[in-house]
Amino acid sequence: MASSPLPPPDTATARTRGAARELWRAVAGRVARTAAGVHRTWRRSLQFRVVTITLVASSVLVGGFAYLIADKITSILLESAKTDVKLRLESGADYATKQVALYNQPQEAQLQETIEGTVNYLAGGDPQQTSGVVVVITAQDFPVIQSRTAPAVDGVQRLISPELREAVADGNVASQIATGRLTGERTKYLAYGSPVPTRFGQIELYYLVPLARQDATAADARATVVATGVALVVLLGLLAALVTRLVVTPVRVAARTAQRLSAGLLDQRMVVNGEDDLALLAASFNQMATNLQRQILRLEEMSRLQRRFTSDVSHELRTPLTTVRMAADLIFAERDGFDPAVARSAELLQAELDRFEELLTDLLEISRFDAGFAMLDAEPTDLVPIVHRVVERLTGLAERVGVPIEVDLPEHEVIAEVDPRRVERVLRNLVGNAVEHGEGRPVVIRLGADETAVAITVRDHGVGLKPGEEKLVFNRFWRADPSRARQTGGTGLGLSISLEDARLHGGWLEAWGAPGQGAQFRLTLPARAGDRLTTSPLRLVPEDARLPYGGPGDAAPLTIGPAPGGALAIGPAPAREPDAAGAEVPS
Which residues contribute to the site for other proteins (CB under 8 A)? 63, 66-67, 70-71, 74, 77-78, 86, 93, 97-99, 101-105, 107-110, 114, 117-118, 121, 161, 163-164, 167, 171-179, 188, 194-195, 197-202, 211, 214-215, 218-219, 222
Answer for the pair 379, 420: CB distance below 8 angstroms, yes or no.
Answer: yes
What does the DSSP assignment read for 488-545? S---S-HHHHHHHHHHHTT-EEEEEEETTTEEEEEEEEESSTTPPP---SS-SS-TTP
Answer for the pair 444, 430: CB distance below 8 angstroms, yes or no.
Answer: no
Residue nearer to other proteins on the CB measure, 164 or 509: 164
Residue nearer to other proteins on the CB measure, 96 or 509: 96
Residue nearer to other proteins on the CB measure, 101 or 255: 101
Q: Which residues pair with 562 in a beta bridge?
A: 568
> Which residue type sits at 279?
A
Residue nearer to other proteins on the CB measure, 14 or 53: 53
CA distances from 98 to 102, 118, 170, 441 (A): 7, 10, 20, 134
Residue nearer to other proteins on the CB measure, 86 or 425: 86
Residue nearer to other proteins on the CB measure, 156 or 447: 156
Residue nearer to other proteins on the CB measure, 215 or 329: 215
Residue nearer to other proteins on the CB measure, 107 or 303: 107
> Residue ranges of the alpha helices (H) in 334-408?
340-371, 383-401
Least separation, in Å, of the C-beta of 203 and other proteins? 9
Least separation, in Å, of the C-beta of 196 and other proteins? 9
Least separation, in Å, of the C-beta of 151 and other proteins? 17
Least separation, in Å, of the C-beta of 181 and other proteins? 13
Question: Is residue 66 helix, strand or coil?
Answer: helix
Least separation, in Å, of the C-beta of 231 and other proteins? 17
List the one residue out of 405, 502, 408 whose CA is nearest residue 460: 405
Least separation, in Å, of the C-beta of 544 and other proteins? 56
Least separation, in Å, of the C-beta of 516 and other proteins? 60
Residue count of the chain, please give it: 587
Distance CA 523, CA 536 (A): 9
Most distant CA pair in the chain, distance: 172
Q: What is the DSSP letter of 565?
A: G
Least separation, in Å, of the C-beta of 127 and other proteins? 16
Question: Phi first, then psi: what are they for 508, rounded to 5°?
Answer: -115, 145
